[in-house]
Structure 1
Amino acid sequence: MASVKKVVIIGAGNGGVVAANQLAKSEGVKITVIDKSPFHVYQPGLVDMLFDEKITSDSIRKETRTLLYKNIDFVQKKVIKADIQNHEVVTDDGNKIGYDYLIISPGVTEKNKFGFPPWHDIESITKIRDSMEDLNGKNVVVGYYGLIKCPAAPFEISFLLKRKYPKANVTLLNPVSQPPKLQVPMANLLGQTAKEMGIQVKRGFKLSEVKDNLMVSEEGDKVQFDYAIIDSPIKVHKEFEDLSDSTGLIPTDKFSLKFKDFDNVFVIGDATNITFPPKTGAMAHFEAVYVSKSILSDINGQEKTKFDGRAMCAIYAGINKGMLVYMDYEKSTAQGRNLAFYVSKKMFMSLYWASLTGSINNLLEGLSSAFATKAIPAN
C-alpha cells in the first residue's frame, strides 16, 4: 500500500484554500494549512467596502476553518521559516511540521516608502473610509509607484470616487509609461473610461517625493492633492526573505510554478516573482488548481502539463458598467464595458466562497476557455 503523502500549505488566502480543497478530494494525501489569521478575506470586496457602508467586514470575511474540507488540518500559527533543505515548516511556537510537498502561498506585505495608509485589509480600509469627508471640489489623487497586486484596482477606486463625488478633481498616477502588451486591451478600456469620467491619468509618473500636499515625480512633475489613496509596492514578509530574489518576491518557474529547482516545492499567489499576467485572486486561483493537479500527477506517476498563466476577472469600468478581462502568458482580451459585467462583478462577492471549495470550477474553466478564444496574441 502506498504511503500517505504530506502536503503542507503556507497561507490560507485564495491560492492556499483552493489548493487545499482540490487536494482534499483525493485519497493518499494528508493536508495541513498554516495561517496566523482565523479569517479569510475576499480582497476585491475591500474596494466595494470603501464606498458602500452596507458592506461590512462580515460581508467579505469568513472563518477559514469553515472554508476548508473537514479532512484538512488547519494550524492557526505564524510561520517563521520554510526550511526547504530539511523539508519542514517552523511555526512561532517552535513546532516543526514535515512535508513531502510544500505550497508556499503566504501573501505579501508593502514597501511603504511614503507613509500612505495601506488598504489591503479590513482594518485599514475602514480607517480610510472613516477619514473620507465630502471630496467634491477637492483635488484627489489615486495611484501607485511600483509593482502592486491588481493594477486595475487604482482605476476602480478612481471610478467609484468620481461616481460618489462627481465634482472632485480626480487624478490617477500610473508609473508605467506604456502598458505591457498583454495589458493593452485592458489599459485601453480603463483609459477610455477615465477620459469619459473626467479623470486625468498621468502615465509614467514615478513618485519620488511627497512634501505637504505635493507629490513630485522622478522627472520633476508635480501634482497637488487634498486627499490621496496611494498603493505601495509589494514584497514578501520578512519570514520568507531568505527565499526571495532581488525583486523582493520568490523565484518561481512560470510553467511549473516550482521554487527554483525543487521538484516538491511550489509557489502561488502574490508571493511569486511572476509579474505578467498581473497579480490577482483569479491568477492565484488558477495557479492553485494547476499545482494541486501537478502534485497528484507526481504522486500517481502521471504526466504533468505546463501552466498557461490564465486569469480572468471582472472589473468596474464606469457608472453601472463593468468589463471582463482574460489573460494568459501569450494572449489577452478585455470585453465590455456593459451592465452585464458590472452585475457579474457584484455577484461574484457571493460566488467567491463557492469558488474556494471547487464547486464552480467547471463554470470558471468553461468561461476562461471561452474567453481564451477571443484573446489576441501579445506579439
Structure 2
Amino acid sequence: MRRLVVLGAGTAGTMVVNRLRRRLDRARWQITVVDQDDTHVYQPGFLFIPFGTYQPGQVVKPRRRFLPAGVDLVLGEVDRVDTAANEVLLTGGRRLPYDYLVIATGTTPRPDQTPGMLGPLWRTAVFDFYSLDGATALTRAMERFDGGRLVVHIVDMPIKCPVAPLEFAFLAEAYLRRRGVRDRVEIVYATPLPGAFTKPIASARLGSMLDERGIVVEPDFLVERVDGESKALVSYDEREVPFDLLVTVPLNMGADYIARSGLGDELNYVPVDRHTLRSTEHDNIFAIGDANDIPTSKAGSVAHFSVDVFADNFRQHVDGQQMTGRFDGHANCFVESGDGKGLLIDFNYDTEPLPGTYPAPLVGPFALLKETARNHWGKLAFRWLYWHLLLPGRPIPLPAHMSMAGKHRPSTKEK
C-alpha cells in the first residue's frame, strides 16, 4: 500500500484529494489529509462581511463534507516533517509515514511580526479582514465609523488575494457614500508597491479608479511599526501615516512547521519548480496553492488551475514517467469596485493583465480591466461554484492555461 499524506484541507488540499482519489487505485493507495480543525472557510467571503453582504455563517462549512469516501481526515497540528524518515510528526506524538507528501497549508496573516500592531488598538482601531474573527469585528467598526481618516494598508508582499485590499478600499468608499458620511472621511491607501498593483497596465487602471474616488495613495510605504500612542503607521524611512481607523493586511507567512522542518524560505514558503510544483530539494514532496514560492498571485484561482496540471503530473510521477504538464502561473481575479460593479483580471507568469473579454473573444461574458455589473455578479456567483464544483473537483469549463483569446494590448490612448 502506497501512502499519500496531504497537509492542509483548505482550498488546494481539498481539490488535490478529490482529484487524486479518482485517479489512484484504492486498493494500492492510502490517502490521508491533516488539518487543525473541521472548519472550512470560504476566504473570498471575508471581504464582504464588514459591509453586511455576507454573514459569517455563509462562509463556513465542515471540511469532512467536501472530502471523498476513502480519504482519512486527521485532526491535529503538524509539529514538523522528518524528510529523512518520510514521516509527518504531529504535536501529540503521532507519526504519519508517507511515500509522497503534498504541502497545502497555505499562508496566514501574522500581525505579531509588525511591532505595535498587536498593541492596545488591536480590534479597537486596528483591524484585519483576512480572518473570520477580524472581518466580523470590523463589521461593527465600520458601522460606527462616521468621520476621520481611514487607512487601508499592506505590510508587505506576497499576500493571499493581492487585490483584496484594493477591493476593500473601493467597497469602503461606496459604503461610506451610501451612509452619507463620505465627505467626512479621508481614505488613504498605503502600499509597499510603487503603485496600485504589481503590473503596469493594471496598476494604471486601478490607480485611476482610486483617483476618481478621491482615495489617496501612499506608495513605497514599508512599515516599521504601528505607533499606538499617536495612532500612526511609521515607515522605515520615518514617514508617518496617521489614522483613526486602520484596516491592515499583516505580513503573510507560511506555516511554522515548514521552518522547523527545514523546508521553507524566510517566509516559510516551500521552494518548488514553478511548472511542476515539486520541491526543489525532495522528489517526493510537492507544495500546492499558497504554500509554495511560485512567482504569481496567492489566489484561489492559482490553486484551481495549478491542481488541474498537478493531478495528471502526479500520476505520471508515481508511475515513474516524466511529468509532461507545465503550470504557466495562470491566475484570474474579480476585483469588486463598489456600487454593484467589478473588474476581472487574467494573467500568468509571462503576460500581465490586459483588457479584453474572458473567457471567449468578444462575447465574454466577462470584461477584463473594465467595470461592469456582470463582473460583480460573477464574483458573487463564484461562492456557489466554489462549494459545489471547485472543492469537490468537478469539471469547470475553463482552461488551466492562460489564453490570449479575447485580449489585446492597449494603445497609448487607452492607457
TM-score by length of 2: 0.83
Pairing 1:42–2:42 present: yes
C-alpha contact (below 8 Å) 1:251/1:259 kept by paired residues: yes
Aligned to 2:282: 262
On the 8 A contact 1:16/1:288 being kept in 2, the answer is no
**2:363 corresponds to:** none
Runs of 4+ in 1 over 4 A off after TM superposition: 178-181, 368-373
- Superposed, 1:1-379 pairs within 5 Å as 4-28=1-25, 29-52=29-52, 55-112=54-111, 113=114, 114-115=117-118, 116-147=126-157, 148-166=159-177, 167=182, 168-178=185-195, 183-211=199-227, 212-241=230-259, 242-274=262-294, 276-304=295-323, 305-334=325-354, 335=368, 336-353=370-387, 354-361=389-396, 363-365=397-399, 369-370=402-403, 374=407
User: Shift of the alpha carbon at 1:88?
Assistant: 1.4
Q: CA deviation at 1:119?
A: 2.8
Structure 1 residues 52-99: Cα deviation after superposition (integer angstroms, max 9, x where no partner): 1x5222211111110111121111121111222211112223221111
Distance 2:224 2:95 in 1: 43
Identity, % of aligned pairs?
28
3-state secondary structure, aligned to 2:391: helix
Q: Which AA in structure 2 matches 1:350?
A: W
Conservation of the 8 A alpha-carbon contact between 2:24 and 2:315: no
Q: Secondary structure at the match of 1:132?
A: helix
Equivalents in 1 of 2:197, 2:41: separation in Å?
A: 29
Distance 1:7 1:347, change over 3 A: same
Whether the 8 Å CA contact 2:194–2:219 is kept in 1: the answer is yes
**RMSD of Structure 2 on Structure 1 (CA):** 2.2
Deviation at 1:20, TM superposition (A): 0.8
CA shift for structure 1 position 189: 2.5
Greater displacement, 38-47 / 81-90:
81-90
Which is worse superposed, 160-169 or 128-137?
128-137
8 Å contact kept, 2:46–2:131 = yes
1:160 counterpart letter in structure 2: L
Gaps of 5+ in 2: 119-125, 355-367, 411-415
Gaps of 5+ in 1: none
Change (3 A) 1:373 1:338: closer
56 and 180 in structure 1: CA distance in 2 versus 1, 3 angstrom threshold: closer
Residue 358 of structure 2 corresponds to which residue in structure 1?
Answer: none
